[in-house]
Amino acid sequence: MIIVTGSTGLIGSATCEYYLNKRINVLGIDNDLRSYFFGKEGSNKWKEKKLKRIKIINTFQ
């Protein structure tokens, strides 16, 4: 298993996809602060659905 911080960001999501394609389990950690600063439209939550077979922990509530 690999842990990726910032898992729904640009580099983090690409990293997750890379390891998932190699059949390695991924634990993603992301705080989705983009939604805090840019509103709901700026959120990267949609990438969670794109990254199947990944467990994402949201750290910002």
Q: What are the tens digits of pLDDT across the range 15-53?
A: 998 998 999 988 888 888 888 889 888 888 777 777 766
State how far the alpha carbon of 50 is from the alpha carbons of 1, 8, 27, 37, in Å.
Answer: 19, 10, 15, 23
**What pLDDT does residue 54 have?**
66
**What pLDDT does residue 15 have?**
94
Higher pLDDT, residue 38 or 54: 38
> What are the boundaries of each domain within the chain?
2-58
**What pLDDT does residue 31 have?**
84
Query: For residues 21 and 33, what is the distance between their CA atoms, to the nearest angstrom?
Result: 27
In one-letter notation, the amino acid at residue 53 is: R
How many residues comprise the chain? Answer: 61
**What pLDDT does residue 59 have?**
65
